[in-house]
Amino acid sequence: MIEIDAVTKVYGTQTVVDAVSMTVPSGTIAVIVGTSGSGKTTLMRTINRLVEPTSGAVRIDGEDNRALPAYELRRRIGYAIQGHGLFPHRTVAQNIATVPGLLGWDQKRIANRVDELLDLFQLDPAAFRERMPHELSGGQQQRIGVARALAAEPNILLMDEPYGALDPIIRAKAQEDLLAIQARFGTTIVLVTHDMEEAIRLGHRIAVMDAGKLLQYSKPADIIAKPATPFVKELIGAPERPFRLLSLVRVADLAEPGEAAGAPLDAGLSARDAYAELLWSGREAAPVARDGAIVGRVRLQGLAKQAARPS
Ligand SMILES: Nc1ncnc2c1ncn2[C@@H]1O[C@H](COP(=O)(O)OP(=O)(O)OP(=O)(O)O)[C@@H](O)[C@H]1O
């Protein structure tokens, strides 16, 4: 658990983070969103002490994060940034091995961990281990950046606009991968983005910042349905609200008994994508399939109900 307790950061005369308090429960993803310059990165960096607060405190599992030397704290907290920050003159394996090496892991354990992470990110270890960063695509570099952040099995992972530079298809894949990794390892993740779509897709909770202040910190459904201020409402984009609600649920959650004609929709598809598919194919309903077997159907009407403002 990460507890940010009344954290303020002042640079000169500017209060960049203004008395922010929020708690990130263990094993959940908190996404910090807001306009440029609202203090998102500064706030996140107080967790691993790349920024020292002017006042307030950060506790990790109940312990003040100043109890450890900063370098030791940072080895325990994964950190992935936009542009991935890979060391250009080190191989993929050496990049991933950075923190395990600092922690004194033996060579065999490090080599096993490197291969395990490459496998996890669907990069063939034999083909990628010895490559240099410039021999990778942007999406591959990004995956290595996250693999490096996860190398020493941290309980906490901080991510600063990790997908900002990726094209929409690779970005969606990277987001799916992150959710799978988070579910597998139970990592507590804090992610900064300016993209509300990404926040809703990834966050168990969303923190909205403006001018250093935390305006709202709630579950995505509450941010959408009950924005705390006009600014939060604007950031969500009022016309997008029904579709954002749909993107929070999967077809599996809405499947009902019954039959329907045409190509089935996968149970893991978001309700938003299912809605688009039904509109596009001009159908009132579609079968729902899980692992190739039909498990029911989903109807346009049911999806529309899901998109309505919660009472
Ligand atoms: N080391 C520093 N010294 C002085 N001012 C700083 C420093 N770091 C950040 N700032 C200022 O603090 C404000 C918040 O910066 P921060 O990077 O936290 O915002 P952000 O919300 O992450 O923005 P972006 O989305 O553009 O990255 C900005 O006005 C920035 O210029």
- What residue's CA is closest to ligand 1, atom 16? 39
CA of residue 39 to ligand 1 center, whole Å = 6
For the segment 87-141, what is each residue's pLDDT rounded down to a tens digit?
999 999 999 999 999 889 999 999 999 999 998 888 999 999 999 999 998 888 9
CA of residue 210 to ligand 1 center, whole Å = 12
For the segment 210-226, what is each residue's pLDDT rounded down to a tens digit?
999 999 999 999 999 89
Token pair of 165 as six digits: 């530079």
Query: 10-residue block means of pLDDT along the chain (311 residues)?
Result: 97 96 96 94 96 96 93 89 83 94 92 92 91 90 90 92 81 87 92 91 95 96 92 89 91 92 92 94 94 93 90 76
Cross-strand bridge partners of residue 3: 23, 59
- pTM greater than the 0.95 cutoff: no
Token pair of 95 as six digits: 């990049």
Q: Residues with beta carbon inside 6 Å of ligand 1?
A: 11, 16, 34, 36-42, 194
DSSP readout, 279-300?
Answer: HHHT-SEEEEEETTEEEEEEEH
Closest-lying ligand 1 atom to the alpha carbon of residue 38: 21
CA of residue 16 to ligand 1 center, whole Å = 7
Closest CA to 32 of 209, 231, 247: 209
Closest-lying ligand 1 atom to the alpha carbon of residue 34: 21
Which CATH architecture describes the domain 244-307? Alpha-Beta Complex (3.90)
Whether ipTM exceeds 0.90 = yes
| Distances from the Cα of 268 to the Cα of 134, 225, 247, 250, 264, angstroms | 35, 24, 11, 6, 12
- What residue's CA is closest to ligand 1, atom 6? 11
CA of residue 43 to ligand 1 center, whole Å = 10
Cross-strand bridge partners of residue 294: 289
Contacts 24+ apart (CB under 8 A), 95-98: 95/133, 95/144, 95/148, 96/144, 96/147, 96/148, 96/151, 97/151, 98/148, 98/151
Structural domain spans, the chain: 2-236, 244-307
- What residue's CA is closest to ligand 1, atom 13? 37
CA gap 79, 274 in Å, rounded: 35
CA of residue 37 to ligand 1 center, whole Å = 5
Residue 187 backbone phi and psi in degrees, to 5: -65, 145
CATH 3.40.50.300, applies to 2-236? yes
CA of residue 188 to ligand 1 center, whole Å = 24
3-state helix, strand, coil in the chain (%, to 5): 40, 25, 35
